[in-house]
Amino acid sequence: MFDLSNKTAIITGGGSGIGRAISLLFAKQGTNTFILDYDKKAATDVAAEAVNAGGMASAIGCDVSNQQQVKEVVASIVATAGSVQLLVNNAGIAHVGTVETTTEDDFNRLLSVNVRGVYNCLHAIIPYMKSGGAILNMASIASSVGLPDRFAYSMTKGAVVGMTLSIARDYISQGIRCNCISPARVHTPFVDGFISRNYPGKEKEMFEKLSKTQPIGRMAEPHEIAHLVLYLCSDEASFITGCDYPIDGGFIKLNN
């Protein structure tokens, strides 16, 4: 089950956190994995880890907000691999702020990476998927519930859900499935860095506080998110398209 052999996968933001876990799992399951990340060294380290474990992976430095660069990268991948069957739009950035404290620069930066970046990859890759494929976009619980101080971030993740539904509808007849998932808090290096920067000396206390916002009592681990991505991109999920899956420890339904 969940065998992805003989498939080519492009994973954006694959150099750390959730993207790293997805990249390693996909390589383990047999994909020819292309790891795209703004930080090429991070992507290279993950690719090396995948190869050392017996997988097939390559690293490419790529700014997903730059459409021309994305097109060139995708064209080079197709020239090497012949086709693309799987796309995971995982690259994204976060921001803390209300509408009043979000500057125009903040807003445009979030829009460029989290929305335009997804669009750029869809625009460049779908033409090579006309024989069928699966797309997974990374949304967030912020697209479904009102989180404090997440104005711009929530806006971008709502757009991701909208794009997911549109792609699923427009390309269903061509055998392309498109879904998204909405994680709650996931324990990644980003979270640790955020806590250490904003709550020096109170790291343990804040980590526990943030963990308990999920009814299940903890944050998710990146590999748990990666396994849901694997399922939705696999042939076992061939009847699923146009869905947004919460993976949130009960956050949306059980928080009162």
For residue 256, is pLDDT > 80?
no
Section 80-100 average pLDDT: 96
How far is it, in rounded angstroms, from Cα 100 to Cα 105? 13
Q: According to the model, what pLDDT value does residue 40 have?
A: 98
For residue 60, is pLDDT > 80?
yes
Residue 255: pLDDT band by 50, 70, 90 thresholds? Answer: confident
How far is it, in rounded angstroms, from Cα 19 to Cα 23? 6
Q: According to the model, what pLDDT value does residue 169 have?
A: 98
When mean pLDDT is compared across 53-62, 101-110, 191-200, the lowest value belongs to 191-200
Q: According to the model, what pLDDT value does residue 194 have?
A: 84
Known catalytic residues are 153
State pTM to two decimals.
0.96
Section 136-153 average pLDDT: 96
Q: According to the model, what pLDDT value does residue 139 have?
A: 98
149-191 confidence digits (pLDDT tens): 999 999 999 999 999 999 999 999 999 999 999 999 999 988 9
How far is it, in rounded angstroms, from Cα 165 to Cα 113? 19
- Assign domain 8-184+221-249 to its CATH superfamily: NAD(P)-binding Rossmann-like Domain (3.40.50.720)
For residue 227, is pLDDT > 70?
yes
As given in the structure block, the two tokens for residue 114 are 């989290």
Section 115-130 average pLDDT: 97
Q: Is 187 helix (H, G, I), strand (E, B) or coil?
A: coil
Q: According to the model, what pLDDT value does residue 95 have?
A: 92
How far is it, in rounded angstroms, from Cα 84 to Cα 26? 14
Question: Residue 114: which of 180, 207, 199, 186 has the closest Cα?
Answer: 180
Section 211-230 average pLDDT: 97
Arithmetic mean of pLDDT over the chain? 96
Residue 115: pLDDT band by 50, 70, 90 thresholds? Answer: very high
